[in-house]
Chains A and B, each alone.
Chain A
Amino acid sequence: MSTMTFRRLVTVSTVAVTISTFAPSGSAGALGGAQCKAADAKTIFHADAVKREATLAELVAKLQARKDPFAMNAAQISTLQHASSAISALDTKVQATCYATRADFRTDAATLFTGYLVYWLRVPQSHAIEAADHLSEARSKLGTVATKLGKLVGTNQQAKIDLDAMTTALDTVDAQLGVAPTPGMSIAAVRDLAPAPDMTADDAALNTAHSDLVAIRQQLQQARADGQKVISDLQG
C-alpha cells in the first residue's frame, strides 16, 4: 500500500467516524452506500406535524382564555402541550433518520396519526371542554337574571308562567351540564379520554357529549327567550 493510498483510507475513515458521531443510527443521506428512502414522504410528514402543532397551539390559546368553571382546562392544556412537544420530537427524529425502506419510515410516521389523534380526539375533546365553559358562563348569567326576575314578578301571572318555563329550562341544563365546579357526566367522561388502538369507546363518549352540548345550548337559548318574555310581561 502506498503512502498516498494509506492517507486516503485514513481520511475516508475519519469522515465516516464523524458522520456516525453526529447522526443517529440509520441517519444521514446514505446508509451503507444505499440511498435513504422516503425523502419525499418526509416533507409531507413534516407538513402534517407542523399542522398539528399549530392546531394544538390554537386549542391551548382558546382554553387559556376561558374561565375554567369546571377545573378541566388546566389538565387539558397540559395534555395538549405534551402532545405538541412529542410531535415536534417525532418530526425531528423522522427528518434526521435515514430509512432503509419506506416501510421503516411508515412505522415511525404512523405514530403521528395513531399515537396522538390530534383531530380524531384532541380537537373535539378540547372543543367540548371549551363549549362547556362557555355554556356554564351563559347558565350563570341566566341564573342571576332568573333570580332577580323572581323578585319582580309579583302577581303578574303571565310573568310567573314565563319565569317558570325559564327555570325549568335552567334545571334541565343543570342536569346535563352539571353545576360548577362539578361537570355533568358526559362532559366529565370526555375529559378523561386518551388515544386508544380501538377508538370505539372514545367515539361513543364524544358523541354523547356533543349531543348533550347541542341540547344544553338549545335549552339555554330557550331559557333566554323565556327570560325575555318575563321582562316584556313586566314592562306591560
Chain B
Amino acid sequence: MRNTRAHRLAAGAAIAVAAAVAAGCGGSSGSKATPLAPTTASSPAPGNTTSARQGATSTPGSAELAALQQQLNAAGSALDASGSAVSGSDVNAAKAQEGSAPS
C-alpha cells in the first residue's frame, strides 16, 4: 500500500517537473503554460523579444521589457528624424546661400 502510494507521488512529481522543463521557465507560469516541443524549452535569446515562442513562455517582466524595447526604438526613430533638422539649424552653413542682388 505504502509502496503504491509512494510510487504514485513520485510519478506525479516527475510529471510536474517535466511540465515545468517543457515550458522553459521553471517558474510560476511554467506550470500553467501549454507544454511545448523540446526545441522551444530553452530560455529566450536576449533581444528576440517579439517572437511567438517567447510570447508563449515569457514572464510578465519580459513582456514589459519587450514593450519598453519598442518604445526605446521609437525614441531612436525620433532621434534619427531630428538629424537633418539639427544640421539645418547651422546658420553658418545656411547663410552662404543668401547671395546678393544681381548686378
* B-binding residues in A (CB < 8 A): 38, 41, 44-45, 48, 62, 102, 106, 109-110, 112-113, 117-121, 123-125, 127-128, 130-131, 133-135, 137-138, 141-142, 144-145, 148-149, 152, 202-203, 206-207, 209-210, 213-214, 217, 220-221, 224, 227-228, 231-232, 234-236
Contact = CB atoms under 8 A, between A and B. Distances in A.
A217 B89 contact: no
Given A45-B102, A120-B95, A210-B90, A127 B85 contact: yes
B94 A123 contact: yes
Contacts, number: 138
A144 B89 contact: no
A148 B85 contact: no
Interface of B: 46, 61-62, 64-65, 68-69, 71-72, 74-76, 78-79, 81-92, 94-103
Contacts of B71: 141, 144-145
Of listed A38, A121, A123, A202, residue having the most chain B CB within 10 A: A123
B74 A45 contact: no
Contact of A109 (B69, B82, B88, B101): B101
B68 A149 contact: yes
15 contacts: A41-B101, A102-B103, A113-B98, A113-B99, A127-B87, A130-B88, A134-B78, A135-B86, A138-B75, A145-B75, A210-B86, A220-B75, A227-B68, A231-B65, A231-B69
A207 B93 CA distance: 11
Given A123-B88, A127-B85, A142-B75, A45 B94 contact: no
A131 B100 contact: no
A152 B99 contact: no
Given A121-B95, A145-B72, A220-B79, 19 more contacts: A38-B102, A41-B103, A109-B102, A127-B89, A134-B78, A141-B75, A141-B78, A145-B71, A202-B91, A207-B91, A213-B86, A214-B86, A217-B83, A220-B75, A231-B65, A231-B68, A231-B69, A232-B46, A235-B65
Query: What is the predominant secondary structure among interface residues of chain A facing chain B?
Result: helix
A235 B46 contact: yes
